[in-house]
Amino acid sequence: MKDKDLEKRVAELNKLLHEYAHAYYVLDNPLVPDAVYDQLMQELMAIEKEHPELIYPDSPTQRVGGKPLEGFNKVTHRYPMLSLSNAFNEEDLRDFDRKIRQAIGDKYNYVCELKIDGLAISLRYENGIFVQGATRGDGTVGEDITVNLKTIKDIPLRLKEPVTIEVRGEAYMPKRSFLELNMEREENGEDLFANPRNAAAGSLRQLDSKITASRNLATFIYGIGGDGEAYGIDSHAEMLDYLESLGFRVNKERTLCETIDDVLAFIKKWTTERPNLPYEIDGIVVKVNRFAHQEELGTTVKSPRWAIAYKFPAEEAIT
Ligand SMILES: NC(=O)c1cnc(N)c2cc(Br)sc12
């Protein structure tokens, strides 16, 4: 094939494989059979092997890194990763709502989301290309785990728009993968992970990204670092839709709640439904929806006044 045609074919394969991976891993809605995807990937890998100069930095073949790292570099987050204050019962939630009403009147609503029990991560994109990923760390300084995050198939290496953005989310291990991993470790006489959260954290902090790649991790993205209004959006609900439109995997169970009673109903529903989810959640996140209201309410040193995490009661240890 002539060089020009080869370059064209490589560009086409990159585009197709990004699109198919997004449909499969993010939308859970495959566009082509696995065999077709694999065949295209093999074709791209063969061309890249012969012509390394045609390897795009965000090529789908570049998800699993080279040799293991010696250690993790530190990353200072451009925007601190805030934590959430907790609510443990209806009274705490009604107190939270009363404070909101006292501060901003009664024309506000909430967005409720599932609180994913994983590891908080921050992903940085420049002109739409994934350039760096880090753990939360202490909220200001985290660890650079870019090569390990690249192995997670639902993390887009290239966004649908060439934006420069920093997003926040949770990396987690699905319940089924956790059970399979522990069964394998038991057979190999290795220590077992106590829960999916520890398994996800342990998998993301591997120095060898090939091990991370084998752990079947996934993500839900739920926030933007810095000023969301810079992207022309003025509410949390719109921001989640915007993140989804960029190609991120955003949890679909998010719901607008007009009153704290709606919030309590959402919590009641997921307290019952929780065991049927394919991933662990440890609570429900409640956020005042409009950014103007969030700005009016502000943040304390460590957490926003416009959000709270309702925590499910600790499950009775099965004795
Ligand atoms: N949807 C959300 O906002 C969300 C989901 N799951 C989590 N573990 C967390 C943690 C913070 Br801090 S926010 C958040």
The residue-averaged pLDDT of 270-280 equals: 97
With a 6 A CB cut-off, is 222 part of the ligand 1 pocket? Answer: yes
With a 6 A CB cut-off, is 113 part of the ligand 1 pocket? Answer: yes
The residue-averaged pLDDT of 88-108 equals: 97
Ligand 1 geometric centre to CA of 228 (Å): 16
Ligand 1 geometric centre to CA of 128 (Å): 23
With a 6 A CB cut-off, is 200 part of the ligand 1 pocket? Answer: no
118-152: pLDDT as tens digits: 999 999 999 999 999 999 999 999 999 999 999 99
Which residue's alpha carbon is at the smallest distance from atom 6 of ligand 1?
Answer: 115
Residue among 117, 170, 252, 288 to mutate when testing ligand 1 (max atoms within 8 A of CB): 170
- 8 A C-beta contact, residue 37 and residue 23: no
More confident residue, 310 or 314: 310
With a 6 A CB cut-off, is 303 part of the ligand 1 pocket? Answer: no
Ligand 1 atom closest to the Cα of residue 83 is 12
Ligand 1 geometric centre to CA of 139 (Å): 13
Question: Which pLDDT belongs to residue 208?
Answer: 95
11-68: pLDDT as tens digits: 999 999 999 999 999 999 999 999 999 999 999 999 999 999 999 999 999 998 788 9
Ligand 1 geometric centre to CA of 259 (Å): 20
**Which active-site residues does the annotation give?**
115
Ligand 1 geometric centre to CA of 121 (Å): 10
Q: What average pLDDT is seen over the chain? A: 95
Ligand 1 atom closest to the Cα of residue 116 is 6
Question: Which pLDDT belongs to residue 319?
Answer: 46
pTM over 0.80: yes
SS (H, E, C) the chain: CCHHHHHHHHHHHHHHHHHHHHHHHHCCCCCCCHHHHHHHHHHHHHHHHHCHHHCCCCCHHHCCCCCCCCCCCEEECCCCCCCCCEECCHHHHHHHHHHHHHHHCCCCCEEEEEEECCEEEEEEEECCEEEEEEECCCCCEEEECHHHHCCCCCCCCECCCCCCEEEEEEEECCHHHHHHHHHHHHHCCCCCCCCHHHHHHHHHCCCCHHHHHCCCCEEEEEEECCCHHHHCCCEHHHHHHHHHHHCCCCCCCCEEECCHHHHHHHHHHHHHHHHHCCCCEEEEEEEECEHHHHHHHCECCCCECCEEEEECCCCCCCC
- Laid out side by side, the sheet with 86-87 consists of 86-87, 307-311, 281-288, 110-116, 255-257
Ligand 1 atom closest to the Cα of residue 251 is 1
